[in-house]
Structure 1
Amino acid sequence: MTTRSLGVVLNGVTGRMGYRQHLVRSILAINEEGGVALSDGGRILLEPVLVGRSESKLRDICERHNLKHWTTDLAGALSDSGNQIYFDAQVTPARVKAITQAIEAGKHVYTEKPTAETLEEAVQLARLAAQAGVRNGVVQDKLFLPGLLKLRRLVEGGFFGRILSIRGEFGYWVFEGDWQPAQRPSWNYRTEDGGGIALDMFCHWSYVLENLFGRVEAVTARVVTHIPERVDEDGGTYEATADDAAYGIFELSGGAVAQINSSWCVRVNRDELVEFQVDGTHGSAVAGLRGCRIQHRATTPKPVWNPDLPVTHSFRDDWQEVPDNEEFDNGFKVQWEMFVRAVVEDTSFPYDFLAGARGVQLAESGLRSSAEGRRVELPELGL
């Protein structure tokens, strides 16, 4: 069977996420395995063209990985007919203009989320892509985490019975940057640069909840800035204008209620940096990045509340680990392969710009809920 190449313009891979997850662990890893496997047995090798503002950073990455193509001229890269896919991992404020430019050049577009800073812009991107007839997709990596794949298996197998509620805890302590360097870039904490944990994480929770349990129909949220002052990469003190914690209640189609806390100001006292507990009439599960534990109703203990006596029972020992039953690949890489196949074989891609717009809608609605102190309903989106 034939093996051919496909040019991919990668904008923003000098950043941590774009470099590690998308270039190294996805694009280069796919090529090392012989390319994306197609349904006819053929293979697609990806020819990356790195785009960014810093010549030195782009040149360094290319030399490090023996890559040939880099440029600071996005328009020039988009004008090359051999480059059929445009990928965006820039900061959010720069995304709409670049994606619009790629769509107008007739490129298929795959992008990190959020797709835009506002719902209006996100829907407009979805509309433009649909009118241009180009494949469009948004990274929804958490759906491919081993823990959530196991959770999906449980849902599809009817383990839970009727799902009642979902409780999520995400986050860790991000150092302020003074006595220890911060492990996240400073723009995350400036609203004017597209920062804020609600805009970041509510887009994730939108697709996680929708794909596993039901579409979010209403949200009640409280977003706050717990740490008002931080220190940037150059040692300068700056005002943290963006929210660093968001506490949300999400009402789902079908009647389940999800409560998810997202915080960069919390110290971890759980097995993983993110955990979801799902409770149903027939059983419960706790899923993290990789692991998933379950407790069926037939094996549920019968606790009795008595604060006058010490607790001697180990409740964690009553839970059973869900087996892997399969090998789990890198989630970013798996979704890249899906998108490339959708482009080459002209098939549908489920995680499109409209799905991305629903994520922006949830973030925007959560911020409005917090600002106005009320529950906000989310109407269904269309083009």
Structure 2
Amino acid sequence: MKQISWGFIGCVEVTEKKSGPAFAEVEGSHVEAVMSRSEQKARNYAERHNIRKWYTDAQELIDDPDINAIYIATPPSSHATFAIMAMRAGKPVYVEKPLAASYDDCVRINRISEQTGVPCYVAYYRRYLPYFQRVKEIIREGRIGNITNVQVRFSAPPRELDYNSTRELPWRLQPDISGGGYFYDLAPHQLDLLQDIFGVIVKAHGYCTNRAHLYTAEDTISACFRFESGLVGSGSWCFVGHQSAREDCIEIVGEQGMLSFSVFNYKPIRLVTSEGLTEIEVKNPPYVQLPIIRKVIEDLQGLNICTSTSVSATPTNWVMDRILGKM
């Protein structure tokens, strides 16, 4: 069995519980080294997780002969740079979502992957979680009949940091780093799931505004879109709503019923048909990225196939850029 020795570029929060520990849970995989621009952060992370090496320079980590795969857990603006560096070194890449901070950067990544023949995977891990696998199963079984409409609704109140004007805003609210505001951080999961279920979105249009004026990025978005099958959908996102309006819901309407589920809090799946309401609880693993990381590793070992690649992830950036009027 091929041994996969990972190098992490980035020691951020997502690597602590969602992803990092999962790399050692899969047979034939381990983390060889981590990198952060902060020496203290890199050393501390390596010591706490019993990782042999740490670096403060990404190129040095990529060039390490003991590393044969790279995990990129940095803000989106640097994804393309690090992914291209790794692929040109012949090392497969697993990148946090979204793939990049713009559709154009996604195209660059795909071009280098094609030229080098080195794969690039993207951390749209919800595709593989049991909760969303159950959603797809219900649709595939035809429980709600032919699908006629899809609706995404998300609303949340501002976070405490959003009000703080005395220090630098979180990177998610700096469009040159994140690609947009909270929309560019959260909507990718929703849009990727929908495209994984229903196919690529080929038309999208949005209206974006800043209603609360807490930061410069958009805080309220409404959009409509059409899938290649002809199915149409809409979405609304508000990141400055009142607590009473908090919502995390995707509704899928069919000719024989309706299916609704959350994307971020995993509330029971609600299935409504002529037989009544059924609520379905599905538990996810403690490390939510474990199922997709297992697929990535097994793909690299020639034992399985991971479909969450840079090619499949690119349409999500295209849709977001269209909604935000970036293209």
* TM-score relative to the length of structure 2: 0.88
Residue of structure 2 in register with 1:261 after alignment? 236
- After superposition, the C-alpha distances for 1:323-344 in whole angstroms (9 at most, x for unaligned) are 54xx642431110110011111
1:27 and 2:2 matched:
no
Residue of structure 2 in register with 1:227 after alignment? 212
Identity score, percent: 18
Residue of structure 2 in register with 1:235 after alignment? none
Residue of structure 2 in register with 1:283 after alignment? 257
Structure 2 Cα separation of the partners of residues 191 and 124 of structure 1? 19
1:293 and 2:270 matched:
yes
Structure 1 Cα separation of the partners of residues 160 and 223 of structure 2? 24
Residue of structure 1 in register with 2:115 after alignment? 131
1:207 and 2:192 matched:
yes
Which among 165, 185, 190 is matched to residue 174 of structure 2? 190
Structure 1 Cα separation of the partners of residues 10 and 212 of structure 2? 28
Q: How far does residue 91 in structure 1 lie from its aligned partner after superposition?
A: 1.1
Residue of structure 2 in register with 1:335 after alignment? 292
1:10 and 2:8 matched:
yes
- After superposition, the C-alpha distances for 1:217-245 in whole angstroms (9 at most, x for unaligned) are 2112112223323xxxxxxxxxx221223
Residue of structure 1 in register with 2:28 after alignment? 44
1:274 and 2:259 matched:
no
1:242 and 2:238 matched:
no
Alpha-carbon RMSD = 2.7
Residue of structure 1 in register with 2:279 after alignment? 321
Unpaired runs of at least 5, structure 2: none
Which among 196, 199, 202 is matched to residue 217 of structure 1? 202
Describe the shift of the 1:210–1:337 C-alpha distance in structure 2 as closer, same or farther (beyond 3 A). same
Task: Say if 2:292 and 2:306, in contact at 8 Å, map to a contact too.
Answer: no
Q: How far does residue 185 in structure 1 lie from its aligned partner after superposition?
A: 6.3
How many residues matched? 321
Structure 2 Cα separation of the partners of residues 18 and 346 of structure 1? 25
- After superposition, the C-alpha distances for 1:231-286 in whole angstroms (9 at most, x for unaligned) are xxxxxxxxx2212232221212333222222232124558x852211110011111
Q: How far does residue 117 in structure 1 lie from its aligned partner after superposition?
A: 2.3
Structure 1 Cα separation of the partners of residues 142 and 162 of structure 2? 50
Structure 2 Cα separation of the partners of residues 92 and 185 of structure 1? 16
Q: 1:274 is matched by which residue type in structure 2? A: D
Residue of structure 1 in register with 2:72 after alignment? 88
Highest CA radius of gyration, 1 or 2? 1
Structure 1 Cα separation of the partners of residues 102 and 29 of structure 2? 35
- After superposition, the C-alpha distances for 1:91-150 in whole angstroms (9 at most, x for unaligned) are 111221111110110000110122222222211211211221112111112223444222
Task: Say if 1:247 and 1:260, in contact at 8 Å, map to a contact too.
Answer: yes
Describe the shift of the 1:64–1:252 C-alpha distance in structure 2 as closer, same or farther (beyond 3 A). same
Describe the shift of the 1:180–1:364 C-alpha distance in structure 2 as closer, same or farther (beyond 3 A). closer
Unpaired runs of at least 5, structure 1: 31-35, 37-42, 230-239, 300-318, 377-383
Q: How far does residue 47 in structure 1 lie from its aligned partner after superposition?
A: 2.4
Q: What are the within-5 Å matches in structure 2 for residues 109-148 of structure 1?
A: 109-148=93-132
**3-state SS of 2:311 partner:** helix
Describe the shift of the 1:48–1:248 C-alpha distance in structure 2 as closer, same or farther (beyond 3 A). farther
- List structure 1 runs of 4+ shifted beyond 6 angstroms: 178-181
Structure 2 Cα separation of the partners of residues 208 and 134 of structure 1? 25
Q: What are the within-5 Å matches in structure 2 for residues 98-177 of structure 1?
A: 98-177=82-161
Structure 2 Cα separation of the partners of residues 282 and 213 of structure 1? 18
**3-state SS of 1:21 partner:** coil
Q: 1:80 is matched by which residue type in structure 2? A: D
Task: Say if 1:203 and 1:356, in contact at 8 Å, map to a contact too.
Answer: no
